[in-house]
Structure 1
Amino acid sequence: MKVLTALVAAMLAVPVFASGTEGPDASTGETLHATVAALDSAAFDAFNRCSDPAQLERHTGYFAEDVEFYHDTGGVTWSRDEMLANTRKYVCGNFSRELMPDTLQVHPIKDFGAISQGSHRFCQFASGKCEGVADFTMIWRHKDGVWQLTRVLSYGHRAAGSEP
């Protein structure tokens, strides 16, 4: 029953994390940047703890059902279910993702949402070492007060300290 209660609470929490009062045409770039930075932080906080089913469900809410995920070494997935199956299989309990400081860029998409770009590193839970780095581009849609990812590109995977 505790797991069910936690799962329901996590699902109800998604609109809180995935909502914003700012629309895609926010009057200042700083407001949009702050909104998308908070969304990135919340989505990957759940990703980093996805061994917990409630956190995996919370992470799920940040993605549109028809999300396209392009990964340079893993290929393409065409749906949220397929992407999350890969997350469950390859990520949960294995590593965490950290946004690299001062790399997040956010650009508005008129009447739609925003593009976010940056670099992130991956840290292995077993060793505690952060040995992998990659770049990302994500398309955020703002619809009916909810922000969701519709396209994700993760590319340029390399060892930490290597040039892209």
Structure 2
Amino acid sequence: MIKIFGKVRYHWQPELTWFIIYWSITIMPIFIGLSLLYERTKIPNSIFFLFAIFIVLFSLGFHRYFLIPGDGNVKIVSLNPFKPSKVAIGDIKKVEVTKSTLTLILASEKQHIFYMRKWPKKYFLDDLALQPEFRGEVELLDNFTKLDYFDSYQKDKKALTKS
């Protein structure tokens, strides 16, 4: 969760399989560049190109977040331009929360799974629950394995300060 230009961003990562594939592709140019560097005595120009590819992929890998602008939608920013980037808050039927994931179940029975850390997930849920359009339910799953983790969700809901 980062506040940039007055907008609060709740960062997430894709499903675990896509997460592993993407980050494996991201670090591949570094290893190829290091192997090219090992083969030669001087630094070839292709190493700089491969390092630039790594920097671009690395920065795009962290460009996944939620925004709740206050117009009744949740904006989902990701790398996939073919997915719809807005979900109406009123269409969210259920939110399932586990220790590492957050699943949005829409009224059309679509499920979207997002991997999030503890505190961005908590503040996102608090902000979502305070929206007047949200009529869904939040279900905490696997709360018997780590009960202390879910104690933070049972306290009073408060949104992040907008100042």
TM-score of the two chains, using structure 2 as the length reference: 0.27
User: Relative contact order (alpha carbons < 8 A, sep ≥ 6): 1 or 2 greater?
Assistant: 1
Task: Answer 1 or 2: which has greater strand percent.
Answer: 1
Task: Answer 1 or 2: which has greater helix percent.
Answer: 2
